[in-house]
Every structure is written in structure tokens, then in C-alpha cells.
Homo-oligomer: A and B are copies of this chain.
Amino acid sequence: MALDQTRCALIIAPHPDDEVLGCGGTIKRLANAGADVHIAIVTKAGEEAFGPDVARIGREEAALAHACLGVRATHYLDFPAAALDTVPHATMNAEFGRLIQTLRPDTLFVPFLGDVHRDHQLTFLSAMVAARPRGGQGPARVYAYETLSETNWYAPGLTPAFIPNVYFDISDTVDVKIAAFTMFSSQIRAAPDERSLETIDALARLRGSTVHRSAAEAFMLLREID
């Protein structure tokens, strides 16, 4: 199915802002084309580990960013941030499964298995279980997205590398993507940090130029059924 004919897309993000870094321009394109776009934020920053305000701020920022991007609904799963390895695998699988069975997305975006953050890895693993094509169910298209400050910091030659095979043209939405990321004022860093606006822009330009577009987001297709 062409991107612009997507009926319902679900983006699973370990932490608020991952969905914008990886798919912000694509989300806006999907919303513009009339798709229902849902975001699932997997974790919540616990007070003990992160202080009293981090979770609240993250949600406020996400609300603003998601409004920019035309997101239909944001789902907070409230698993403990930076501690998904303490959650039983079956518990996460079940929660993701419920979400997929409720929303019935035809298109699913998951974080990349090779990201250095264990929360990203475990989110990937549970999402792949929930997305199985058992009984003809499961999303028809599953993509992994890249996340600045996670994807490029792992172990070359030992952990999976992000080698994209899909490029979504975001020439018309890259500005909104960057505007949406600007809402995460607690997360923006000055260049040359990977989480700077300049680096987000550089990545979009590079991914775009690979396919002769002004800007693009790149993905690894994991499964398509047509």
C-alpha cells in the first residue's frame, strides 16, 4: 500500500520524542493524507530514577509535538523507563497485543533492534511478537525507524546495523518535523549533539539526497503483505 493510502498507522516509541526523531515527517504525511495515526509511548520516567517532573514534562511536550503532527491519539503504556528489562516479556507482549488488536493498524513503526538503549531493543522484541501474522492478523507493513543518539552508538560488526531499504519523502513535512521536535525543549541539545535541530536536519537531507529528494526519512522494512 502506498504511504498515502495508509488507513491506520501505529508508531511504538520507547520514550517520548523517539517517534518524532524517527518518523516525524512521515507521521505528518500520513496525517495529511487522512490516515489515523496513533502513538504508543511505552515507558514513563519514574520519580525515583528521574525526579518528580520528568514524566509530566515529557507528556506535555509530547502533547504539543503530536498536535503539530496531526496525531489522532497518544497511548501511554507506563512501563518503567530505563528498566524494561525488569518487566516480564509476556506482560509487554500482552499490552502491545491489546493495542494492535484494538487499533488494527495496517502499518506499524517500531524502534530499531540495534539501538544502544535496552528499552529500544526490548520494545522491538515485544512489538515483533505482537505483530505476528498469526491467523491473518497483524499489520500488513512493519518498519523499523532510526533514532538519533541511539542508532549510531552501538557496536559496529556485532550488533545489527541500520541499513535502510525504504525512503519516505518528507520534503513537504520536514519543517513540521523539526517544529514538533522543538516542542521537546527538555530534550533538545545544542549542535553538535545528535539531538540537535541541526543534526535532525542533516540526517533528513542526507536520507533525502540518497533518493534525490530534498528530505526523507529512512526505514528498514521488516514485513509487507500485499
Task: Point out residues on A near B: beta carbons under 8 Å.
Answer: 1-5, 49, 82-83, 85-86, 88-90, 112-114, 116-118, 124-125, 128-129, 132-137, 144, 148-149, 152-161, 163-169, 191-194, 196, 198-199, 201-203, 205-206, 208-215, 220-226
Contacts and interface: CB of A to CB of B under 8 A. Distances in A.
Listed residue (A85, A129, A167, A210) with the most chain B CB atoms within 10 angstroms of its CB: A210
A113 B169 contact: no
B226 A158 contact: no
B3 A226 contact: yes
Contact of A83 (B3, B89, B166, B212): B89
Given A133-B153, A134-B153, A192-B213, 12 more contacts: A83-B90, A133-B210, A133-B211, A155-B222, A156-B165, A156-B223, A161-B163, A167-B225, A169-B226, A199-B206, A199-B209, A211-B225
A74 B225 CA distance: 28
Given A133-B212, A205-B192, A206-B202, A169 B225 contact: yes
Report copies per complex. Answer: 6
Contacts of A2: 1-2, 5, 226
Given A85-B89, A113-B155, A113-B158, A136 B212 contact: yes
Contact of A134 (B149, B199, B202): B149
A195 B212 CA distance: 10
A196 B209 contact: yes
- CB-based closest 8 A-B pairs: A136-B212, A202-B205, A202-B202, A199-B209, A156-B165, A192-B209, A152-B210, A85-B89
A158 to B, nearest CB: 5
28 contacts: A2-B2, A83-B90, A86-B88, A113-B158, A113-B159, A116-B129, A116-B132, A118-B125, A133-B211, A134-B153, A134-B212, A135-B193, A135-B212, A137-B212, A152-B210, A155-B222, A156-B157, A156-B220, A157-B163, A157-B165, A158-B222, A161-B163, A165-B223, A192-B205, A193-B212, A196-B209, A203-B206, A221-B221
